[in-house]
Amino acid sequence: MKLLAIDTSSLTATVALLDGDRLIGEYTLNHKMNHSQKLMPMIEELLNSCNTKPGEIDVFAVSLGPGSFTGLRIGIATMAAMAQALDKNVVGVPTLEALAYNLFNIKGLICPIIDAQKDLVYTALYQWTDGNMVEIMEQQVIKIDKLISMLKEKSEKIFFIGDALERFSSNLEDGLGQQFAVPPFKFLIPSASSVAGVARIKLEKGIKTDIIPIYMRKSEAEVQYEKRMKGSE
Amino acid sequence: MSCINVSNQKELEEIAEKLGKLVNSGDVICMVGDLGAGKTTFIQALAIGLGVKDYVTSPTFTLINEYEGRIPLYHFDVYRINHIDEMENLGYEEYFYGDGVCAIEWADLIKDILPYDYLWIEIKITGAESRQICFIGTNDYYREIAGELLEK
């Protein structure tokens, strides 16, 4: 079974091809956000280098967010279009789960944090138990200070990954002290092979997902706008 | 905030052109000021400094124009934005976090979605020809650029 997975939910664009249990190719750029120009050539390059025709792909997997609205739309539209043209299935993977899967079977807690603008992050909390990754705090959008005070109540070491780390690492370190841990750089950004890994688990367990973006919240401007519209009714 | 007074359009254009020579890939320039203050004039001169050959016009109805210069120039005019959805449909993140320079007129209308760091430029009308131009840089990089613009 061949599986093509992508993640364009952040600045990172990442594409991976799985053949059965083997990762046969992965291509990641973590430079500028121009997925609309880079994603298709990346997919083409990866497939050509792996001597694989699009028609040979059995399943597509895509990171559903939360994250960049533009990035999510590009990624999901691309995978949905390829799958529809080839009459194949798409598996959707929440971005936070895919990020946490970067730290397979690690001891302690995993806290992916994705930039949600201002002092907000998209986050969740994961823990590995008997080889399964368990979500022990639901996916949510939360103020960084509130997240820190919630995490203080835990006793375990907490590994942070994700693009909001750059902005908040000093807040987290000050707030959490010895609990705060950051893995090496290769684990910090989305990786399409992790998306593929989570997608395979969902396939094996027969978990179906809707292929719609997880925006997780309305932007502040949308909320204001809706308030205004309601007020004028 | 640091400000400079200019007595005519030519002086305003000189500052803008200088800014066009200083900016780098990924920079975001926010322009605010009343109608007729000279936001578009400022960006036209900035485009010359960037080496843009095309004639720059205000993208009031198209929301964005793209120009090829030393680095790409993405000229936004968000005056007519009613809903932040319109920015999302435009794919604004690829511009804001991309490889060109963004110059955004009426940036105060989309403050919620601006990147963390930018150069904020306010043009105030002080007379028929004269203007006061004020700069706020959110970080050292932009403050340094603002400092260079104030040097005569």
* Sequential pLDDT tens for chain B (152 residues): 899 999 999 999 999 999 999 999 999 999 999 999 999 999 999 999 999 999 999 898 889 999 999 999 999 999 998 888 889 888 899 999 988 999 999 999 999 899 999 999 999 999 999 999 999 999 999 999 999 999 86
Judged by a CB distance cut-off of 8 A, whether residue B151 touches chain A is no
CA distance B64 to B42: 16
What would the two tokens of residue A181 be?
Answer: 């841990």
Judged by a CB distance cut-off of 8 A, whether residue A221 touches chain B is yes
Q: What is the mean pLDDT of residues A91-110?
A: 97
| Beta-carbon separation of B83 and A222 below 8 A | yes
CA distance B92 to chain A (A): 7
CA distance A25 to A12: 17
| Beta-carbon separation of B93 and A69 below 8 A | yes
Interface-testing mutation among A8, A68, A167, A224, with chain B (most B C-beta atoms within 10 A): A68
Q: Which residues of B92-122 are buried (b: 16+ CB within 10 A; e: fewer)?
A: bbbbbbbebbbbbbbbebbeebbeeebbbbb
Judged by a CB distance cut-off of 8 A, whether residue B72 touches chain A is no
Angle at B91 between CA A164 and CA B19, to 5 degrees: 80
Residue with tokens 């320079």, as numbered in its chain? B101
Cβ atoms within 10 Å, residue A190: 29
Res A220 pLDDT > 70? no
How sure is the predictor about A233, in pLDDT bands with cuts at 50, 70 and 90?
very low
- Percentage of chain A lying above the pLDDT 90 cut: 87
At the top level of CATH, the class of A103-187 is: alpha beta
At residue A78, what are phi and psi to the nearest 5 degrees?
Answer: -65, -50
Neighboring chain A residues of B84 at a CB cutoff of 8 Å: 219, 221-222, 225
In residues, how long is chain B? 152
Range of the domain at B80: 2-150
Per-residue pLDDT reduced to its tens digit, A2-51: 999 999 999 999 999 999 999 999 999 999 889 999 999 999 999 999 99
At the top level of CATH, the class of A2-96+190-205 is: alpha beta
State the pLDDT at residue A208: 85
CA distance B9 to chain A (A): 35
| Mean pLDDT estimate for chain A | 93
State the pLDDT at residue A169: 96
**Helix (H), strand (E) counts: chain B:** 5, 7
A2-96+190-205 with A103-187: one CATH topology?
yes
State the pLDDT at residue A230: 63
Please tell me whether residue A212 adopts helix, strand or coil conformation.
coil
Q: Which of A130, A174, A173, A136 is nearest to A154 (CA)?
A: A136
Q: CA dist B16 to A119, A146, B32, B42, Å?
A: 33, 43, 14, 5
State the pLDDT at residue A53: 98
At residue A139, what are phi and psi to the nearest 5 degrees?
Answer: -65, 135
Judged by a CB distance cut-off of 8 A, whether residue A72 touches chain B is no
Q: Which of A198, A2, A204, A202 is nearest to A88 (CA)?
A: A2
What CATH code is carried by the domain that includes residue B119? Answer: 3.40.50.300
Neighboring chain B residues of A222 at a CB cutoff of 8 Å: 83-85
Judged by a CB distance cut-off of 8 A, whether residue B22 touches chain A is no
| Beta-carbon separation of A117 and B112 below 8 A | yes
CA distance A206 to chain B (A): 34
Neighboring chain A residues of B112 at a CB cutoff of 8 Å: 117, 219-221
Shortest CB distance from B98 goes to which of A34, A117, A219?
Answer: A34
Q: Which residues of B68-81 are buried (b: 16+ CB within 10 A; e: fewer)?
A: ebebbbbbbbbeeb
At residue A108, what are phi and psi to the nearest 5 degrees?
Answer: 110, -165
pTM here? 0.85
Note which residues in 46-65 of chain B have CB less than 8 A from chain A: none
Structural domain boundaries in chain A = 2-96+190-205, 103-187
Neighboring chain B residues of A121 at a CB cutoff of 8 Å: none
Beta strands at B28-33 and B119-125: parallel, antiparallel or unpaired: parallel
> Does residue A125 contact residue A103 with C-beta atoms inside 8 Å?
no
**CA atoms within a 13 Å half-sphere pointing along the CA-CB vector of A113:** 26
State the pLDDT at residue B1: 87
Q: CA dist B133 to A136, A174, A232, B2, B141, Å?
A: 52, 39, 37, 8, 19
Per-residue pLDDT reduced to its tens digit, A68-96: 989 999 999 999 999 999 999 999 999 99
**CA atoms within a 13 Å half-sphere pointing along the CA-CB vector of B55:** 1
Look at chain B and report how many structural domains it folds into: 1
